[in-house]
Structure 1
């Protein structure tokens, strides 16, 4: 099965490396990027393509028409587009006779759209999914080919959830690729009536408002921790990234305003929130704030 792979993030690298072990998939071309200004988990596929002597095209260096012509010359049976923050136009979707496989780390048809790992953690969801689907001209709206549900544990953060989803996705791609090659797979249409779309997040969505509950701030921090950009607060006109926190359920400070530093202990910072107290464990403070000051 002649296969082209498109992607430009860490997840893409893992998926391409796995796909190369599947004998039914003959990877005949790779489309990637040299750099990205908005993918914090960016990873070019060029080294992996070069190692395996696979023709590689950089999307930012060619026109859309040239990209289409390149794909048509390769005559792929299928395209895997995994870890690509750009919608594919119909001219590309119609090239491979078997279609284009996309991926979304959410329980489609629910939670389509942008930043699914971040939103799931920030909203405190207890479950998500690893979903492969046939791409159409919509966003995450095509028929599902493989979906596995995954619980989100209290101790999960962006890094651990990203890694868990990657591990599950590897097993899925090994399982369903031979079925696609053999024509024995099932296409499961999505129920569009129950779909919702998550919006694109901006920098303001990562600002910590200490009037929020400690639990909500904790969820925001774990959602935006590495490999993402990090939640942040402003202290003495400097933007401070907060990478890891812990919720402290304590009623002794109920008369204290949100944002006040209650204690500094062993490098940890305890801050009063709208409800509860937050223990800041990992942060970018160069000089620790003083007890009694406000963040």
Structure 2
């Protein structure tokens, strides 16, 4: 007998996981998604477009707690509710409409990095591994029992964008592997020990400001964590805002006495940090346009 599902989804993880459900023969009766924000850099795939290709109705309510949506899902009487990178908390009353459970795909190895933008936080904090976790939804975010998870490495020069691509594949693999058991009612429920984990909130563009007094490794992790397609790490210098789009930890020790921040040394742009080490900046943007070392020297004085 075919299982019926309502899917809350957005972003690339939403696209790939929706496609896994369809490939596994799940009857997706409704997709709940978001309207794209015109002020956001939309670099990811469209869940609504995938649903439309398959003839699946799509709604984009402002609030997942509305009475109309509740009535619509109650009328469907789904076996499962899934959430794949949907950006709002789903009310417990809605979750209870799923006869065989409600499950969320989270972009970390729970219980670590519960909460918002887990990939960016993992890169910022210098982790060497993250992944994707399918878990039961509960009243608290990312707090329900774990069904399955898949780990991926974070290499030293990976940006958050690169890691997010890996996590998207991990999410697809996790769901593909565990879905037969989930549909059959035999999937495990593993402990999600919140006391042993961590929780992080959302990040604002201002959080991308570089503090050059920090060690070079910490500055570099920030640059990697918010590099394009995210807004980018920035610094204000010479009454201008500079965005560091691409960089590496420099193997060259900058000359003693150089001020912290952006400097040009031997026709290369460096970011001098508080521990005396430097970031080798490969792409520096001013008003969205790449700046050469010569131009930086002229504008920096």
Output the TM-score relative to the length of structure 1. Answer: 0.91
Counterpart pick for 2:85 among 83, 86, 94: 83
Q: Work out the CA distance in 2 between the residues paired with 1:142 and 1:38.
A: 30
Distance 1:15 1:77, change over 3 A: same
User: Is the CA contact (8 Å cut-off) linking 1:35 and 1:44 kept in structure 2?
Assistant: no
Cross-structure match for 1:141: 143
Q: Work out the CA distance in 2 between the residues paired with 1:255 and 1:221.
A: 24
Give, in angstroms, the shift of residue 252 of structure 1.
4.7
Distance 1:204 1:34, change over 3 A: closer
User: Is the CA contact (8 Å cut-off) linking 1:261 and 1:293 kept in structure 2?
Assistant: no
User: Is the CA contact (8 Å cut-off) linking 1:259 and 1:273 kept in structure 2?
Assistant: yes
Q: Where do 5+ consecutive residues of structure 2 fail to align?
A: none
User: Is the CA contact (8 Å cut-off) linking 1:262 and 1:272 kept in structure 2?
Assistant: no
How is 1:265-280 mapped onto 2 (pairs within 5 angstroms)? 265=267, 268-275=268-275, 276-280=277-281
Q: Work out the CA distance in 1 between the residues paired with 2:266 and 2:69.
A: 56
Q: Secondary structure at the match of 1:241?
A: strand
Give, in angstroms, the shift of residue 294 of structure 1.
5.4
User: Does 2:154 correspond to 1:152?
Assistant: yes
Q: Work out the CA distance in 2 between the residues paired with 1:161 and 1:47.
A: 24
How is 1:38-53 mapped onto 2 (pairs within 5 angstroms)? 43-53=45-55
Cross-structure match for 2:283: 282
Deviates more, 1:191-200 or 1:122-131: 191-200
User: Is the CA contact (8 Å cut-off) linking 1:3 and 1:79 kept in structure 2?
Assistant: yes
Q: Secondary structure at the match of 2:17?
A: helix
Q: Secondary structure at the match of 1:28?
A: strand
How is 1:58-137 mapped onto 2 (pairs within 5 angstroms)? 58-60=60-62, 64-137=66-139
User: Is the CA contact (8 Å cut-off) linking 2:12 and 2:168 kept in structure 1?
Assistant: no
The count of residues paired between Structure 1 and Structure 2 equals 292
How is 1:217-236 mapped onto 2 (pairs within 5 angstroms)? 217-236=219-238
Q: Work out the CA distance in 2 between the residues paired with 1:101 and 1:2.
A: 14
Quote the RMSD (CA, aligned, Å): 2.3
Q: Secondary structure at the match of 1:222?
A: helix
Q: Secondary structure at the match of 2:261?
A: coil
Q: Where do 5+ consecutive residues of structure 1 fail to align?
A: none
Output the TM-score relative to the length of structure 2. Answer: 0.89
Counterpart pick for 1:245 among 244, 247, 260: 247
User: Is the CA contact (8 Å cut-off) linking 1:207 and 1:233 kept in structure 2?
Assistant: yes
Q: Work out the CA distance in 1 between the residues paired with 2:83 and 2:241.
A: 36
Q: Secondary structure at the match of 2:281?
A: strand
